[in-house]
Amino acid sequence: MATIGLSKPYYAIYAEAGGVVSYSDGAVMGKATEANISIETTEDNNLYGDNGLAETDRRFANGTLTLSTTDLSQEVSKAILGLTEQAITGIDGVTDTSVKELVYDDAQVTPYLGVGFIIKKKVNGAYKWRGVVLPKVMFSVPEDAATTQGESIEWQTPELTGTIMRDDSATHVWKKEATFTTEAQAEAYIKARLGIAA
Convert the pLDDT of each residue in 93-132 to its tens digit.
777 777 889 999 999 999 999 999 999 999 899 999 999 9
Specify the pTM: 0.87
Higher pLDDT, 149 or 161: 161
Confidence at residue 1, expressed as pLDDT on a 0 to 100 scale: 61
pLDDT digits (tens, 9 = 90+) for 151-184: 888 777 889 999 999 999 999 999 999 999 999 9
In sequence order, the β-bridge partners of residue 101 are 86
92 half-sphere exposure, CB direction, 13 A CA radius: 0
CA distances in angstroms from 91 to 74, 94, 105, listed in the order given: 20, 6, 21
Spell 116-135 as b/e; 16+ CB within 10 A means b.
bbbbbbeeeeeebbbbbbbb
90 three-state secondary structure: coil
DSSP 3-state assignment of 156? coil
SS3 183: helix
Residues ≥6 apart with Cβ < 8 Å to 133? 114, 115, 116, 175, 176, 177, 189, 190, 193, 194
Tens of pLDDT along 51-84? 888 887 778 888 999 999 999 999 999 999 999 9
CA–CA separation, 96 and 61 (whole Å): 48
**Do the beta carbons of residue 68 and residue 158 sit within 8 Å?**
yes
d(CA 37, CA 6): 13
Contact 118, 183 (CB under 8 A): yes
| Per-residue b or e along 4-15, where b marks 16 or more CB atoms closer than 10 Å to that residue's CB | eebbbbbbbbbe
Write down the pLDDT at residue 146. Answer: 76
pLDDT band at 89 (very low <50, low <70, confident <90, very high): confident
As a whole-number percent, the residues of the chain with pLDDT over 70 amount to 99
Does residue 15 contact residue 23 with C-beta atoms inside 8 Å? Answer: yes
Average pLDDT score, the chain: 91
Pairwise CA distance, residues 8 & 188, whole Å: 11
